[in-house]
Chains A and B, each alone.
Chain A
Amino acid sequence: MSGPLPVGAALEVESLSVRVRGRALVDDATWSAPAGRLTALVGPNGAGKSSMLRAIAGVVPERAERTGRVLLGGERLDALPPRERARRVALVEQLADGAPQLTAREAVRLGRTPHHRMLGFSLGDDRHVAAALDAAGAMALAERPLAELSGGELQRVHLARALAQQSGGEPGLLLLDEPTNHLDVAWQLELLELVRRLALDRPVVMTVHDLALAATHADRVVLVDRGRVVASGAPSDVLTPERIRAVYGVDAEIDARPGGVAIRYRRMAS
């Protein structure tokens, strides 16, 4: 897929592991995501995709042990204090349905939290929030409570929050957990369009279940199974029938055309 040359800081994950009571949620994962590229993290349910994103964002479960290194532009993210890290990495969670009574603007303003000083505000908050709402195409939603928004609208607002979090500095790392989940096809395309635009000057990593969607829209794919990275690279190199069979246990027929990739699945002949 043609795109602009990578600019800015790349994400490098080196030997990242997250263990809870001996069980590995993420197991010695090493992969990278260049800036200016959209990277898709794929894998079966429970493969550790969400745990991976959270660990990169510095969020680990209670009593979990995290080892390994996470670098953004050569800087150790995992060694940064939480607020410093939060200015460089933003995470949009799957099914982010918290804080339903807040208006969209208030929710986006929460993105400014790592920039706040003692009194809960910082200079230019309003400007950054407005710019983020605008960039995410959510300006028209600003005064509506989150509870009233549709899934697609909500996803936009949370994207705007992530943008507000990084506004006012270098474009940072954007992590999206299942951003297309529960969206109808029109919203999916809208959202991917937006995400692609955001990925012009920063590394963006999203988890997706739909392999065809990943193959069509992502520049790079990282395939994860049981916490381990099975393969990473260009979509056509990573998503082969053999690997899909090995990881998902289904037969896949991949139909790559200039307009996009379609995949047909069948239960494995046993």
Chain B
Amino acid sequence: MTRTEQPAAGRERPATAAERASTATTRAAAHIPAQLPTRGPRRRRSPALLLALALGALLVVGVAVAASAGPAGIGPLEALGAILARLGVGESPLGAVDDAIVVDLRLPRALAACAVGAGLAIVGAIMQALVRNPLADPYLLGVSSGASVGAVLVLIAGLGVLLPVAAFVGALAALLATLGLAAAAGGATPTRTVLAGVVVASAASALVSLVIFWGADGDAYREILAWLLGSLAAITWPTALVALVGAGLALALLPTGRLLDALALGDAAAGALGVDARRTRWALLVASALVTGVLVSVSGAIGFVGLVVPHAVRLAVGAGHARLLPLSALAGALVLLVSDTVARAAFDPRELPVGIVTALIGAPVFAALMLSGRVRT
């Protein structure tokens, strides 16, 4: 259709009975539509693209810096050279030991940080949209609490090697308990599912506290605290690959952004668009919780990233999920990569759990974003 076929309202229109009846009001109406001021075409799309490119570039730099930061005295460019060499590009500028430090110790950890950060941010944004609550985070359905139960049990038993497996089993058990409870309570609607998640999370947290109170001492206590706050200190290539799989699953959820937008219109409106709101919401809740379970199993329950990164990105580019989800992924990856590098290197030789750093860095950054006047509420 073009303007010539469909004249814009307010201009040459066939007169109707109503207009003949009230030419005065029609004149009043005539100036309204076609002359509304535009605010510059596509004012939001290009900032989003720029932001994506900037975040992508920062991520590459960040990985190089993360792989070089530390006591070995390796430069970022050397680290990058060593990484590229393993990918078959050029030769490593480093000796065998330094090369191994970069590629076998720091690179998997840096990649895991990116993967977990990206995954948590995506899942957090999805959860917030699904339950229409800005306080929702990836751990909504009790997943992290369940993971903590599994983790704490093996840490106290001195079976730290089994930690990722135990954590994932715990996460899965909590998710199943949540869904089971919701179903038993009369059908797993989103509201019931979230409520059941709260119940399961409380029970699991109590269990964790009980186990710690009963059995933890000394080293085990510190290990447990590190897990509860979230830490990437124990990452090796195998666990990094698990994190990357988790991130891959999260990335597979990116195309659901438009569905989330449709859901935001309201359930009936979404239904009229052919989207079954109830089923979609439930499926996305479960898929998101599963992804979270995978991520948490290697990193522990890292806070803040999944909660605040989506908000920060929303402030920058608006709430349309087609942009929000991918940009949250990039921003989440960067935030966790920087946080983890700081956690590892800033207080050398001691190391902080990254969960502390995400909040220490994240809270002021978010506060600054809020104060910059971009909050639309």
- List chain A positions with a Cβ less than 8 A from chain B: 1, 54, 57-59, 62, 81-87, 89-91, 93, 96, 98-99, 101-103, 106-107, 109-111, 113-114, 116, 118-121, 131, 134-135, 137-145, 147, 152-153, 156, 165, 175, 185-187, 189-190, 192-194, 196-197, 216-217, 257-260
| Smallest CB separation, A184 vs chain B (Å) | 9
Chain A nearest CB: distance from B284 CB in Å? 14
Please measure, in the bound complex, the distance between the C-alpha atom of A89 and the C-alpha atom of B273, giving whole angstroms: 9
B-chain residues with CB within 8 Å of residue A118 when the two chains form the complex: 255
Closest chain B residue to A131, Cβ basis: B1
Interface bits B308-351 vs A (CB < 8 Å: 1, else 0): 00000010001110100000000000000000000000000000
Q: In the docked arrangement, what's the CA distance between A163 and B34, Å?
A: 18
Contacts of B261 in A (CB 8 A): 99, 102, 106, 110
> Which of the residues A58, A131, A135 comes within 8 Å of B272, measured between beta carbons?
A58
Enumerate 14 A-B pairs (CB-CB under 8 Å) in ascending A order. Answer: A57-B272, A83-B274, A98-B264, A102-B320, A103-B318, A118-B255, A134-B1, A137-B10, A141-B36, A145-B376, A186-B26, A186-B32, A197-B6, A259-B20
Report yes or no: B29 in contact with A93, Cβ–Cβ below 8 A.
Answer: no
A250 to B83, CA, bound (A): 83
Instruction: For A143, give its contact among B39, B266, B271 (CB under 8 Å).
Output: B39
Given contacts A137-B10, A140-B36, contact A101 B320 (CB under 8 A): yes
Contact across chains for A189 and B19 when beta carbons are under 8 A apart: yes
Nearest A-chain residue to B324, judged by Cβ: A101
Q: Which of A144, A175, A189 has the most CB of B within 10 A?
A: A189
Whole-angstrom distance from the CB of A81 to the nearest CB of chain B? 8
Q: Given that A99-B261, A113-B262 are contacting pairs, would A186 and B29 also be in contact in the complex, using a CB cutoff of 8 Å?
A: yes
Question: A113 — nearest CB in chain B belongs to which residue?
Answer: B273
Selected interface stretch from B41-49, B173-181, B199-207: B41-49
Are A143 and B28 interface neighbours, CB within 8 A?
Answer: no
B1 surroundings in chain A (CB, below 8 A): 131, 134-135
Chain B: CB-nearest residue to A82? B274
Known: A99-B265, A216-B18. A114 touches B41 (CB 8 A): no
Identify A259's interface contact among B17, B29, B256, B258, CB under 8 A.
B17
Residues of A within 8 A of B283 (CB): none
Q: A89-B272, A140-B38, A196-B16 are in contact. Are A260 and B262 (CB under 8 A)?
A: no
Please list the 5 inter-chain residue pairs (A to B) with the smallest Cβ-Cβ separation, ordered nearest first. A86-B274, A259-B21, A101-B319, A186-B29, A59-B271
The reply to whether A190 and B9 contact each other, CB–CB distance below 8 Å, is yes
Contacts A110-B265, A143-B40, A193-B16; A91 near B318 (Cβ below 8 A)? no
Q: A116: which of B8, B258, B314 is its contact (CB, 8 Å)?
A: B258
> Roughly how many angstroms separate A54 CA and B271 CA in the complex, as a whole number?
9
- Tell yes or no: B35 within 8 A of A by CB: yes
List chain A residues, Cβ under 8 A from B37: 140
CB proximity of A214 to chain B, nearest CB, Å = 12
Asked if residues B29 and A98 are in contact (CB atoms below 8 Å), the reply is no
**B17, B33, B264, B272, most chain A CB atoms within 10 A:** B272
Q: Which residues of B contact A186 (CB under 8 A)?
A: 25-26, 28-29, 32
- Report chain A residues within 8 Å CB of B376: 101, 145, 147
Give the chain B neighbours of A138 by CB distance below 8 A.
33
Interchain CB contact under 8 A, A134 and B36 = no
Are B44 and A103 in contact, with the CB atoms below 8 A? yes
- Once A101-B319, A140-B34 are accepted as A-B contacts, the answer to whether A193 and B272 lie under 8 Å apart by CB is no
A120 contacts which chain B residues (CB < 8 A)? Answer: 255-259, 322
Q: Closest approach, in angstroms, between the C-beta of B272 and any C-beta of chain A?
A: 4
Cα distance, A98 to B3, chains bound together (Å): 29
Considering only CB atoms, which chain B residue lies closest to A145 in the complex?
B318
Contact A137 B33 (CB under 8 A): yes
Contact call A62/B189, Cβ cutoff below 8 A:
yes
CB distance from B29 to the nearest CB of A (A): 4
Complex-state Cα separation, A89 to B271, whole angstroms: 11
User: CA separation between A189 and B265, bound complex, in Å?
Assistant: 26
Q: Across the interface, do B273 and A140 meet the contact criterion of CB distance under 8 Å?
A: no
CA distance A134 to B322 in the complex (A): 23
Contact B17 A1 (CB under 8 A): yes
Q: How distant is the Cα of A133 from the Cα of B275 in the complex, in angstroms?
A: 22
Interface centre among A131, A137, A185 (most CB of B within 10 A): A137
A260–B25 Cα gap in the complex (Å)? 14
Whether A192 pairs with B18 at a CB distance below 8 angstroms is yes
Q: Which of chain B's residues has its CB closest to A130's CB?
A: B1
Interchain CB contact under 8 A, A189 and B268 = no
Q: How far is the CB of A175 from chain B (nearest CB, A)?
A: 8
Interface centre among B17, B22, B34, B44 (most CB of A within 10 A): B17
Report yes or no: B18 in contact with A143, Cβ–Cβ below 8 A.
no
A187 to B9: give the CA distance in the assembly, Å. Answer: 11
The reply on B269 being an interface residue by CB < 8 A is yes
**A270 to chain B: closest CB distance in Å?**
34
Q: Is B372 an interface residue (CB 8 A)?
A: no
